[in-house]
Amino acid sequence: MHAGAATAAQTDWRQILALYGQLLAFAPTPVVELNRAVAVAEVHGPDAALTLVDELDLANYYAFHATRADLLRRLGRGDEAQAAYRPAAGLAPTDAERDFLGRGGRGCALSDHVRWVRSRSASSAAT
């Protein structure tokens, strides 16, 4: 659904949020809750999402820290965001993600990072 949208603004985040609500009924895992929080950020704002993220027990999952860092950045809490990017970079599974997260996202939204990683994966697959 969001992968088919040309921009994040064209994504039907309300529908994605509703679908994550349904998924939680079948698979109530912390990772599903984290993904739902990303949709909450798009529908209700980063503050509402950060409240949800901070309740999760995912300290060993890089996407938890990356999501938290992005939400803090969007809230203008730069020092806290930079601190959250550090464990994200340390736990990231690929060099590209470690590099990006190690630079603190440098003004990029997490959705920009996801598009960048996908484009790198696509170009690697083509060669």
Helical residues (DSSP H) of the chain, grouped into ranges: 13-26, 30-44, 46-53, 62-74, 78-91, 95-102, 110-126
Residue positions counted in the chain: 127
Are the C-beta atoms of 123 and 91 separated by less than 8 Å? no
Residue 108 confidence class, pLDDT cut points 50, 70, 90 = low
pLDDT in tens, 11-33: 899 999 999 999 999 999 999 99
Greater confidence (45 vs 121) lies with 45
Domains and CATH numbers, the chain: 8-126 (1.25.40.10)
What pLDDT, on a 0 to 100 scale, did the predictor assign at position 100? 85
Structure pTM? 0.77
Closest residue by Cα to residue 38 from 67, 58, 11 = 67
Dump pLDDT digits (tens) for 74-107.
Answer: 999 999 999 999 999 999 999 888 888 888 766 4
d(CA 17, CA 44): 10
pLDDT at residue 104, as a whole number: 77
